[in-house]
Every structure is written in C-alpha cells, then in structure tokens.
C-alpha cells in the first residue's frame, strides 16, 4: 500500500552533501517517524516519500530550497567585538548568540576584525544541495 498524505511513516535515511560527506544517518539507529505531507521533515523528503511502498528505497537529490533553505545574506552580520569580551574566539568556531528579541541563534565565526566579529547565523547546510538515501520501513 503506497504512502499517502497523513500516513505515519517510519523511514531510514542517510544524508550527505555533494562532496560525499555524510551529515546524518539512522543506520543502526531508530528510524525517523513523521506524518507524510505534514511538514515534519524536510520538504524534499516529505514530497518524495508520497507513493513509496513499505520496503522501498531510493536515492534522491534535495535542492537547497527544499532542504535547509537558501543561504540568507541578512544572517551574515557583524557584531561589536566587545560583546564577546572574555570569550576566546576562533574563525570557524560554533557560537550561540542572543538576538535583540531574546531569541537564541547558533552560528559560526567567519572573521575576527579589529573592532568586530563577522558571524554567519545560517544553518550550516543552508544553500547546499543534499543527497539522501531513503527507505520506507513502516
């Protein structure tokens, strides 16, 4: 019986970027469980699972806009260096920052200047085409 919108689905998946580096896998772990078509998983996977049968597997390519989204330039910003006073910063370091609206966001240090620190608050996989192997378990 093919998967249809609204069905509860259990899926094994393995995701990698174009260079082959695996960033996520359920291999040897519990499968991902979600409601098909409800937006609980990346849109590129959600769309592809519709119509698949139990036990069926396939490899799919998920463009950035159906994955973690396109990279947003407005999420690359400079913060005054004194905001990080007492913290040791390095380029490439992951960091959490509090926004003006008291929301916590994760990002990466892109550049450390004389007076400021350039941060990229985009998801690390934003703007990247992703390749997934998916298999419907249940």
pLDDT of 93 reads 93
Q: Is residue 77 part of a domain?
A: yes
What total number of domains does the chain contain?
2
Residues of the chain with pLDDT under 70: none
pLDDT of 116 reads 92
Q: Is residue 3 part of a domain?
A: no
Task: Let me know: does 45 contact 26? Beta carbons within 8 Å.
Answer: no
65 and 130 housed in the same domain: yes
22 and 56 housed in the same domain: yes
What is the distance between the alpha carbons of residues 50 and 38, in angstroms, rounded to a whole number? 11
14 and 58 housed in the same domain: yes
Q: Which 3 state secondary structure label does DSSP give 103? A: coil
Q: What is the CATH number of the domain that holds 95?
A: 2.40.10.330
- Its pTM surpasses 0.95: no
The overall average pLDDT reported for the chain is 93
pLDDT of 87 reads 85
Q: Which residues span the domain enclosing 90?
A: 73-120
């Amino acid at each position: 019986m093919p998967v249809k919108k609204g069905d509860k689905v259990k899926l094994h998946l393995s995701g990698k970027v174009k260079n082959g580096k695996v960033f996520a896998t359920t291999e040897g772990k519990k499968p991902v469980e979600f409601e098909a078509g409800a937006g609980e998983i990346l849109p590129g996977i959600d769309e592809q699972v519709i119509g698949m049968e139990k036990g069926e597997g396939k490899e799919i390519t998920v463009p950035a806009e159906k994955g973690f989204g396109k990279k947003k330039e407005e999420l690359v910003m400079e913060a005054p260096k004194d905001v990080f006073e007492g913290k040791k910063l390095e380029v490439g370091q992951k960091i959490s920052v509090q926004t003006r609206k008291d929301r916590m966001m994760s990002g990466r240090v892109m550049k450390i200047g004389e007076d400021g620190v350039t941060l990229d608050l985009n998801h690390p996989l934003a703007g990247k085409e992703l390749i997934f192997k998916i298999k419907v378990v249940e």
